[in-house]
Amino acid sequence: MDFVNQIICGNCEDVLKNLPDNAVDLIFTSPPYADRRAMTYGGVKPGDYVNWFLPKAEQFLRVLKPTGTFVLNIKERTVNGERHTYVIELILKMREQGWLWTEEFMWHKKNSYPGKWPNRFRDSWERLLQFNKHRKFRMCQEAVMVPVGNWAKKRLNNLSETDKKRELYT
């Protein structure tokens, strides 16, 4: 299967079977959240979510290159008035599986409106969790940088010697 420089869409459980080990640079997925989209995806209960997702994560780990990155877009579900812990549990189980949880980003939803619940706001953000196989992975920070304001010159002039050094992982 020739898949270089292609976006492959499909059910991951079917597509991953055809991919060799250490072949993919980037995996970005937004799986169904617990108890959501039941009519489309069948739904997964929050208490079952980790066991449902781990086989997929195992295949992601197999096909991802050592220098590659896996990004998971996910959000906790509220159950009985509090956040369920399935996302935290998933992170911990993925670490046991061999993943490094290297970064977390936030998707800020600027068009979010107030919630219908009397005791909490509507979610206006979602997690983007970054996982890697190794500490040395490819990342092009310059590609996503945006210009900073004029305040930066003054602030950067006052950096300590520690702030001027960049830690390199070995």
Q: Give domain status of residue 16, yes or no.
A: yes
In a domain, 113, yes or no: yes
Q: For residue range 30-47, what is the model confidence (pLDDT) as tens digits?
A: 887 777 666 766 678 889
Into how many domains does the chain fold?
A: 1
Give the global pTM.
0.77
The pLDDT tens digits of the residues spanning 135-144 come to 888 877 777 7
CATH number at residue 25: 3.40.50.150
**Residue 88: inside a domain:** yes
Which residues of the chain, if any, have pLDDT below 50? none
List, for residues 116-139, the tens digit of each pLDDT value.
666 666 677 888 999 999 988 887
Q: How far is CA 162 from CA 127, 148, 154, 165, in A?
A: 30, 21, 17, 6
Whether residue 169 is contained in a domain is answered as no
Share of the chain above pLDDT 90, in %: 38
Exposure string over 21-49, b if 16+ CB within 10 A, otherwise e: eeebeebeeebbbbbeeeeeeeebebeeb
pLDDT at 114: 66
